[in-house]
Amino acid sequence: MGDSVRTGADHQGASMFLQRLWVYLSTLHMFCFMVGMTIFTRVMHFISPSLTKKLILRMGEKITMTQNPNFKYEDWGLTFGSMEFIKTASRHMWMSLGQEAFEGRKAPDSPVVSMEGEKTSICKYLKAVIIKQYLLSCHFDVLFGVAVVNWYSLSPPPDGWAFTNNFDISEHRSLEERLCAARILVKKEPLCPVVVDEMDNVAAIKYGALPERLYVLQAGKIVYRGAVGPWGYNPQEVRSFLEKIK
């Protein structure tokens, strides 16, 4: 009996090690890709601005930026070649190294704060099947679950990387600022509860949710773990998954 328990624990430990190793390797790959794409974009913009625009618009189609009526290409296109973008994305990647939420494992019960300012936790919302880690943006996909608002700057530099023609929100420096930002999301009347991450960003770190990520939890376990946004952000994939497990 003891040997079987020990073997199971060893197997879980080895599995967790491989998952963490994959996080480190994929983060390193993503960082190199980001830096390479940024250099390529800046060089191409100098050589041929029109061709650069076509390439960026093609990437924008994947993350649905071209479908957002609130932004023109001039608002977001060339921000991906800025130093502010590299700094912000690098910070997100560094924080993602602490993630603990993996498919098939127990969902981390991270502390969050309700819109009334009361401390609660993610697992208290398990009846809400989907957990949506969310950095305040100007769109909201209609999915039932709980939206977790984290820190992010939507203001122009020097406060941080951001699109132009956007909400004027500086990086949150207090819980009240974070709650104020979340109220903008609440005004969009999402069909789910909205809570905010604590100022130490524990939920975002444990769920590897920067800048955004979708999860499905069932019976306290993670049964679906989406790829990190914006390129891996796929609400339709979540809808299809939920249809299969009905």
Long-range contacts of 231-234, Cβ-Cβ distance < 8 Å, separation of 24 or more: 231/62, 231/63, 233/63
Give residue limits of the domains in the chain. 2-244
> Residue 163 belongs to what H/E stretch?
none
* Helix residue ranges, H only, 48-113: 49-62, 73-76, 83-96
**CATH code for the part of the protein at 2-244:** 3.40.30.10
pLDDT tens for the chain, 246 residues: list them.
Answer: 555 545 555 556 677 788 888 889 988 998 898 889 888 888 888 899 889 888 888 877 776 677 777 778 887 777 777 788 888 888 888 888 888 888 888 888 888 888 888 898 888 876 544 455 544 433 333 333 556 655 444 444 445 666 776 666 667 778 888 888 888 888 888 777 888 888 888 888 888 877 778 888 887 888 888 888 777 777 788 888 888 876
pLDDT at 167: 65
How much is the pLDDT for 28?
A: 92
Strand partners, 225: 215
Which one, of 24, 55, 63, lies nearest residue 232 by Cα? 63
Among 59, 21, 20, smallest CA distance to 38 is for 59
**With contact defined as beta carbons under 8 Å apart, do 244 and 228 qualify?**
no
What pLDDT is recorded for position 25? 92
- Tokens coding 226: 């989406």
Structure confidence at residue 166 (pLDDT) = 66
